Amino acid sequence: MSTKSKGSSAEREIIHRFWKTEKWAAVRVAGSGSMKYPAVDVVAGKQGRKLAIECKNVSTGNLFFSKEDLQQVMDFANKFGAEPWVAIKFDRIGWYFFAVNVVMELGTGKSFNPDNATTYGVSFEEIIKER
């Protein structure tokens, strides 16, 4: 499976997870990463809360973020009125969500991997909890 199709599959998976909850809806953003405007991979929301999500799928190793990629998520989220998040699907442990401001504070040199996912991120179940 190509990297692109693996990423698309992960995006569809997270959309299904949101829809399976009682109150959340989600959609993939067509053309994210291929146009001049800032965009994210998935927009999810429920009454009173919206998430702008950049999705990544990691099978092994570490994942690093560029400042430009993170800034695009922030720019889109600010204009859309949503919370900016990065969601990473790690093999064997599942999805973890990282607030973009936390990722930026840690610096673009910080790697994200299954060992530190629980330290810096929150699970899918935590992200959908009532606030």
Which are the catalytic amino acids?
Answer: 32
Give the start-end residues of each E strand in the chain.
Answer: 25-28, 42-46, 49-58, 83-90, 94-99, 122-123
Q: How far apart are the C-alpha atoms of 107 and 104, rounded to whole Å?
A: 5
φ, ψ dihedrals at 59, nearest 5°: -90, -45
